[in-house]
Amino acid sequence: MDFPLLDQINYPDDLRRLRQDQLYTLSKELREFILTTVSNTGGHLASNLGSIELSIALHYVYNTPHDLLVWDVGHQSYSHKILTGRKNQMGSLRQYDGLAGFPKRDESPYDTFGVGHSSTSISAALGMAIANKQKGKPNKTVAIIGDGSMTAGLAFEGLNNAGWLDSDILVILNDNEMSISENVGAISRYFSKILAGRFYNSVKSTANIALSLIPSVQKIASKVEEHVKGMVMPSTFFEEFGFNYIGPIDGHDIDELVDTLSRIKELSGPQFLHIVTKKGQGYKLAENNPIGYHGVTKFNPNEGMMGTKAVSNLTYTQVFGKWLCDMAKTETDFIAITPAMREGSGMVEFAKAYPDKFFDVGIAEQHAITFAAGAATQGIKPIVAIYSTFLQRGYDQLVHDVAIQNLPVMFAIDRAGIVGADGPTHIGTFDYSFMRCIPNLILMAPSNEDECYQMLWTAYKTNSPCAVRYPRATGNGSIINEKMQLLTIGKGEVTRQGTKIAILSFGTMLDIGIQVANTIEATLCNMRFIKPLDTDLIKEIALNHDYIVTLEENVVMGGAGSACNEALQEFGILKPVLNLGVHDDFPPHGDQKTLMKTEGLDVDGILLAIKKRFGDA
């Protein structure tokens, strides 16, 4: 496929040599290039298709990388990567040793801040602006944030501080009325119905058509517009933060973007530009289904995602979604909460069937947990569905608001362990460590689909803080017993009896553990609970075996293996122990199979580690 203009662009300096009227052609080529690339690699599609004109305009107007662009989350930064020297590497996107799916500082000087979680851009950009002011540097600083990310408190903490400091910073609100799922909350309604509402835009459109017949009057009217629009929409919302508010403007109109950014570049003090874009712009299938095309696997652009191959076994996410709907048929005193992860947490069907019990609180993990804690004080069982990597953001609330008060909040923790292509920002390998140290909390991890189903029921019926932790993965095909059963808290099971070596497996490492145990004739235990730990089983195993191996898809430091070591010390039992898990590092992006291998957590890696430690035992 030919891209005559894009082929000439390797860095922003090349872009800035183009005439402004060539930028529309470039945007079309860039949109086709991204669609072709992402359909071959997988990745974030709809959000990137919606931010192409903005990326072009920013690098056209600002002297990057001296002027600093800070992307929020990074779901919309592919065109930024392409324009900043990485065009020829896009075929390696999100693959091991390839380009990261998000901005990454050690990948390019144009990536000013590493991101992956939402709502960090304003705070980071403010820090950069203040630092450069201290050093006497004239750099311009721009934070690009989506309206979905504006549902998080951190964004408003940054806005509040930036306005107070009267810093030279531009915040661009990319308003497409979407994050991953539809946006929720009063702030989202504010943006959607007022700032970018149909009334304002329809009035503006009608006026422009009429005034286009009288050019001189149109020119005057455009100057008056900034004053008049205040009567239509309360831009004072941001002005009260100390920002000069401009917009909303069409985020797909490059001329308007370039002209507006050029004017803003000459201004001092906090500036706020509101642009309106369409997620999936230019690709009808993504425009019509922006949620489905937010994150995609490989697909044929002509056929769309309908052509993707279905997976026969259930994912753990689907198990949770099924359990939630099944449980709701008999239970009444509960609510289900998610911080903007309805699709990702498998809650779509539940939300449709039980809308009065479903609460999407937006990208607000801290609020989600304290909201749940409040509900728990009134006799309602809250179920918080959250990703492992996002639970980190609510850690204080987990400790302070839930655990200290010993409130029966249930956590369904998805995306645990090595997640894969999204890389270090989304990895879920710390939750065993940061949760097992919290008093009153029960933590369990299933080895298959049925065990996950029963653990969820057990957690629901437990009258204390309780968490079920499972991976972003397909199960092994275990048949679910829909007659829900309570597991005995803190009890594991021996699944294979061996002789000298005993393997203590946590969570879905059991399938790999079975292969290892069969190879070396080892005893294999499915531990099930990280806290409380089955210390009786550990003691029995230690007394009847020469060597112990622990397996977990969590960092070794402070993890489940460490808990086993502590138990052995309590008993005064000295046995050679090998703790295997994720190294003291952040695994890079790549497919899960490759990353498990690099961490030594595949069958060959585990067998090699056992041989090195215990010889031919």
Question: Residue range 212-233: average pLDDT?
Answer: 48
pLDDT of residue 583: 96
Q: Is this prediction's pTM over 0.85?
A: yes
Q: Which two tokens stand for residue 487?
A: 């597991």
Please answer whether residues 564 and 538 qualify as being in contact, where contact means their C-beta atoms are separated by less than 8 angstroms.
yes
CA 282 vs CA 9, 78, 579: distances in Å: 21, 15, 51
Sheet holding 466-471, edge to edge: 358-360, 334-338, 381-387, 410-416, 466-471, 442-444, 529-531
| CATH classification for the domain delimited by 316-471, as one of 2.40.70.10, 3.40.50.970, 3.40.50.1010, 3.30.70.120 | 3.40.50.970
At residue 151, φ and ψ (nearest 5 deg) are: -85, -5
Q: What is the mean pLDDT of residues 392-405?
A: 97
Give the tens place of pLDDT for each residue, 355-367.
Answer: 999 999 999 999 9
Using the predicted structure, report yes or no on whether residue 196 has a pLDDT greater than 80: no
pLDDT in tens, 559-582: 999 999 999 999 999 999 999 999
**Residue 397: pLDDT above 60?**
yes
Question: 549 with 506: CB under 8 angstroms?
Answer: no
Where residue 22 falls (left for φ over 0; alpha for ψ -120 to 50; beta otherwise) is: alpha
Q: Mean pLDDT over residues 359-382, rounded? A: 96
Q: How confident is residue 182, by pLDDT bands cut at 50, 70 and 90? A: low
Average of pLDDT values for 306-324? Answer: 81
Confidence at residue 318, expressed as pLDDT on a 0 to 100 scale: 97
pLDDT tens for residues 458-502?
999 999 999 999 999 999 999 999 999 999 999 999 999 999 999
Residues annotated as catalytic are: 279, 365, 393
Q: Are 405 and 579 a contacting pair, CB within 8 Å?
A: no
pLDDT tens readout for residues 501-548? 999 999 999 999 999 999 999 999 999 999 999 999 999 999 999 999
- Residue range 123-138: average pLDDT? 94
User: Is pLDDT of 305 > 90?
Assistant: no
Question: Do 37 and 48 meet the contact criterion of CB atoms below 8 Å apart?
Answer: no
Burial class (CB in 10 A: 0-12, 13-18, 19+), 541: buried
Task: Please indicate whether the domains covering 6-197+233-296 and 493-614 agree at the CATH topology level.
Answer: yes
Q: What is the reported pLDDT for 215? A: 52
* Residue 231 pLDDT greater than 70, yes or no: no
Range 409-427 average pLDDT: 95
The whole-number pLDDT of residue 550 equals 98
pLDDT surpassing 50 at residue 193: no
Handedness of CA 22, 28, 31, 37 (dihedral sign): negative
Alpha carbon distance 151, 569 (integer Å): 47
Average pLDDT, the chain: 89
3-state secondary structure of 361: coil
pLDDT, tens digit (0-9, with 9 covering 90-100), for 601-616: 999 999 999 999 999 8
Which pLDDT band, with edges at 50, 70 and 90, does 239 fall under? confident
Integer Cα distance of 119 and 154 in angstroms? 6
308 pLDDT tier (thresholds 50, 70, 90): very low
* Closest C-alpha to 118, from 88, 96, 167, 151: 151
Distance CA 75, CA 511 (A): 33
Give the closest residue to 276 by CA, choosing from 295, 250, 314: 250
Distance CA 513, CA 473 (A): 17
Span 375-382, mean pLDDT?
97
- The pLDDT, as a whole number, for residue 224 is 46
Token look-up 């005064």 returns 572
pLDDT of 229 strictly over 50: no
Q: What are the residues whose beta carbons fall under 8 Å from the beta carbon of 499, sequence distance 6 or more? A: 521, 522, 523, 545
- Mean pLDDT computed over 157-164: 92
* CA distance linking residue 49 with residue 277, whole number of Å: 10
| pLDDT value at residue 201 | 43
249-304 confidence digits (pLDDT tens): 999 999 999 999 999 999 999 999 999 998 888 887 888 887 778 778 887 887 88
Q: Any idea where the domains of the chain sit in the sequence?
A: 6-197+233-296, 198-232, 316-471, 493-614
Can you name the CATH fold of 6-197+233-296? Rossmann fold (3.40.50)
Paired tokens of 9? 């662009």
Show the tokens assigned to 473: 């993965």
pLDDT of 53 strictly over 60:
yes
pLDDT, greater one: 244 or 301 = 244
The alpha carbon dihedral of 186, 49, 202, 226 has a sign of: positive
Q: Which residues contact 74 (CB under 8 A, 6 or more apart)?
A: 101, 102, 103, 115, 116
381-387 vs 334-338, strand pairing mode: parallel
**What dotted CATH number matches 493-614?**
3.40.50.920
How much of the chain, in percent, has pLDDT values that exceed 70?
A: 89
